[in-house]
Amino acid sequence: MTGDQVIARLFFEMTRVIHKTYMPDTRFGTFLDLVPVGYAIFLGQAEGRPMGLTGLARFLDIPRSSVQRRIDMLIEQGIVERRALKYEFASSALTGPRAVGAHRQIVRMFLSAARQVAPDEPAKPSLYRAATEQA
């Protein structure tokens, strides 16, 4: 497999893992429509700057009404919560047993892809240990 094929497959499979973890009863195509909003919410939270509706719409360059519909679906699924006009992932969505298992699976996928794309690069032992530890 070429490096491009490995990376393309990685992103597709990573998205499948996230889908099965957070919204298994939702059609995959519908889930894909929510992914950019979820990623933007996660990014803002990870950087310590959660975004509100206007910030998300501006960041994603899509209408506020479209962002609001997607956020409503994420809230309905218990994935996202509104806190003081900002949106963040629910703590259970980041630290629950299924989430931790999915995170570890994704790290293993990234490590495997890295070995395939750049086999001569040394692996980071601490990342590998974190990914392979049992919950």
pLDDT digits (tens, 9 = 90+) for 72-89: 999 999 999 999 999 999
pLDDT digits (tens, 9 = 90+) for 49-77: 999 999 999 999 999 999 999 999 999 99
Give backbone dihedrals phi and psi of 86, rounded to 5 degrees, phi first.
Answer: -120, 160
Q: In this structure, are strands 86-89 and 80-83 parallel, antiparallel, or unpaired?
A: antiparallel
Q: Which of 26, 51, 30 is nearest to 40 (CA)?
A: 51
The residue extents of the domains of the chain are: 24-90
Q: What is the pLDDT of residue 133?
A: 58
Residues shown for the chain: 135
The DSSP H or E segment spanning 48 is none
Looking at residue 39, its amino acid is Y
pLDDT digits (tens, 9 = 90+) for 83-120: 999 999 999 898 988 889 999 999 999 999 988 888 77
With H, G, I as helix, E, B as strand and everything else as coil, classify residue 110: helix
With H, G, I as helix, E, B as strand and everything else as coil, classify residue 134: coil
CATH for 24-90, options being 2.130.10.10, 1.10.10.60, 3.90.1200.10, 1.10.10.10: 1.10.10.10
